[in-house]
Every structure is written in structure tokens, then in C-alpha cells.
A = this chain, B = another copy of it.
Amino acid sequence: MKMIPSYSAFARILALGALIVLGAYAQAQTPTDPLLSWNNGPAKQAIVTFVKETTTQGSPKFVDPVARIATFDQDGTTWVEQPLYAQVMFAFHQLGAVGAKDPKLKEIEPFRTVLSGDREAIAKLTLPDLEKILSVTHTGMTVEVFQKSVQDWISSAQHPRFHHLYTECIYQPMLEVMRYLRANGFKTYIVTGGGQDFVRVYSERVYGIPREQVVGSTAGTTFGYKDGKTELTKEPRDVRVDDNDGKPIGIHLMIGRRPLAAFGNSGGDQEMLEYTQDGGGARLEMLVHHDDATREYAYGPESKIGTFSDALMAEANKRGWVVISMKNDWKHIFAWEQ
């Protein structure tokens, strides 16, 4: 019996060692169900099938990683939008701060109404009223000053019904979809009617989506110098609204290719889903339907916010889009439920 194994035997031992080490590693990495908060059903199945088809080498629908783009609307798709968009709550809050510095503002409508706190009167504000409020609270300051004010507000602002931070009112099932897609080589984007500079403040922390992957409504900025330092000031001009046709336009501007998968919940997402689907090949279009008044909200055609019209439902059915029932498809809605 040789005491020293031959080189080839040694090589075999090395190879065996490496295999066992790598095998243990692979086993440790074996994922549990990536969509734990989803009930088994056609919605969950559609996601899993889409990912397998587009990412399995040799699949006829395999897609090169550079083209794996998935876009998510935000309000009503990844977080709560009722009773009022978080960004509008922020704007009302900021109006208080602006009013404290500029008391004249308190005498002018629509600011007087908002500052009065009269809920009934506030509920009657018109779109031009809201634009004035957004202009006063979202422009005239540097990008950094604006984002600091968002940061300050969002780190403590709570949802009026759930008594959790807005950034905790995120739909856990959608976070799981984002992570599942990213684990399979997709780049995930927020494509929102909300403000791009607003969402960028928390997108990385809350969604794991870096600032540059947020496509939202924007307005112009002016480049200038203050005390010899460069700065960008937010202006009330060149407004681009990232809703309806603004979504495919924004996607082309910011990303430059049609998404492979798109997620929305209302009429404002229709064009994005159409644009996604018309790219051909394996695509996934999903709409969140708010039909769970107990755990979240139930609203549809009649809601002023997040309108899911009968016409949209008809188009979803005709085009084969997947409608997610919050009530039936989601085991958990929020992380705090678990």
C-alpha cells in the first residue's frame, strides 16, 4: 500500500473536495419559494412561467439579460394610494412650512383651504388647485433641499388608517416579485405618475431600486452657481407628466427599450401595458385589482384615485392581461401582517 497517493488520485481527491464544497454551497443557496406571500393560482403561476420561459437557456422565449426590463407603477401597485396619494399628503405638509415663512400665502386660495385643515373643503379642491399647491411646494428650491424635505417627512409620516409609515405600506407580494425578477437577471424600474425626485429619495431603501431606475413626472431644472458652487434649482416649467401616454414616452426616454414585464393598477397604466405587450415574444402584463376592503381597500370604476374602469377590465380580458385579486391572490399584503 502506497502511503502517498499518486498525483492522479490526489487530483481526484481535490476534485471530490471541490465538488462537495461547491455542492454544499449550492444547497445552502437553494431558494425557498420566492413568492411566499402569493396564494397558488393563475396570477402566481403566470409570474413563475414568464420568468422560467425568458431566463432558461435554450427556451424558445429566452431573452438576453440586457433586455430584461420590468416596470412597476407605484401608487396602488406597490404601495397604498388611498385615501390620498402620499405625495399629496407631503405637499399639504410642506404648505404648512411654506406658509410659516410666507404668511401672505395663508390668505390666498387654494392655500388657505389646505391650511385651514377643513377636510370637506380640501376634498373639493380641483386639479388646477392641486397644481398650484405642487408648484409652491415642489419648485423654487435646489434639488438637494427638496429631497431633504421629502426625507424628513417620509421618515415619520404615517398612513392615517394603518398607523404605519407610508414606506411600510408597501405590498409585500410586489416586493417579492421585484426580488424574484432581479434574482433572475431583470432590471426593475418604478414608472410612476408621481414625482421622480420624490420617489428617488426612498426607492433604494424601500424597493431596492436605485435612483436612476425611477421614471416619474418631472419638471425643468436650472443650472447655476451659488457661492461658487454648482446647483440645480427646481422650476415650475417643462413639466412632463408620466402617466397614460407619458409612461411609454418616459420609458423610451429613460430606458430606451420596451419592458418585458409591466405592472400597474389603473387607467394611467394602460398605455404602458400595451406598449410592453406589443414588443412581442414572452411578455407579462399585470394589473392589481383592489377588491379587499377588509385588509386594504376595495375600489374600481368609481374611485377618483386609481380608477380601474370597466373599459380597462374589458381590455385586460381581451388582451390576456393578468388581473391580480388582492383578496384572493395575496396571502399577505403588508410585511407587518406576518
Q: Which A140-169 residues sit within 8 Å CB-CB of chain B? A: 143
Q: Which A210-241 residues sit within 8 Å CB-CB of chain B? A: 210-212, 214, 218, 220-223, 229-230, 232
Q: Which A1-39 residues sit within 8 Å CB-CB of chain B? A: 1, 3, 13-18, 20-21
- Asked if A248 and B232 sit within 8 Å, CB to CB, the answer is yes
What's the least CB distance linking A177 to chain B, in Å? 20
Choose among A17, A196, A210, A245 the residue with the greatest number of B CB atoms under 10 Å from its CB.
A17
CA distance A254 to B256 in the complex (A): 12
**Contacts A14-B20, A14-B21, A17-B13 known; A256 to B66 CB distance under 8 Å?**
no
- Asked if A253 and B1 sit within 8 Å, CB to CB, the answer is no
Q: Which A170-211 residues sit within 8 Å CB-CB of chain B? A: 187, 196-197, 200, 204, 210-211
What's the least CB distance linking A49 to chain B, in Å? 24
**Contacts A275-B230, A278-B229 known; A256 to B17 CB distance under 8 Å?**
no
Residue of B nearest to A18 (CB): B21
What's the least CB distance linking A228 to chain B, in Å? 9
- Is A106 an interface residue when CB atoms closer than 8 A count as contact? no
- Asked if B16 and A212 sit within 8 Å, CB to CB, the answer is no
- Is A132 an interface residue when CB atoms closer than 8 A count as contact? no
- Is A255 an interface residue when CB atoms closer than 8 A count as contact? yes
Residue of B nearest to A143 (CB): B252
- Is A291 an interface residue when CB atoms closer than 8 A count as contact? no
Q: How many copies does the complex hold?
A: 2
Residue of B nearest to A19 (CB): B17
- Is A136 an interface residue when CB atoms closer than 8 A count as contact? no
Residues of B near A223 (CB, < 8 A) are 245, 248-249, 271, 275
Residues of B near A232 (CB, < 8 A) are 248-249, 252
Residues of B near A271 (CB, < 8 A) are 223, 230
10 pairs, A vs B, C-beta closer than 8 Å: A14-B16, A15-B17, A196-B256, A197-B256, A214-B256, A223-B248, A229-B278, A230-B271, A232-B249, A232-B252
Residues of A within 8 A of B (CB): 1, 3, 13-18, 20-21, 66, 69, 143, 187, 196-197, 200, 204, 210-212, 214, 218, 220-223, 229-230, 232, 245, 248-249, 252-257, 271, 274-275, 278
For the complex with contacts A220-B249, A230-B274, 5 further pairs of A-B residues with Cβ separation under 8 Å are A14-B17, A17-B21, A187-B212, A223-B271, A229-B278
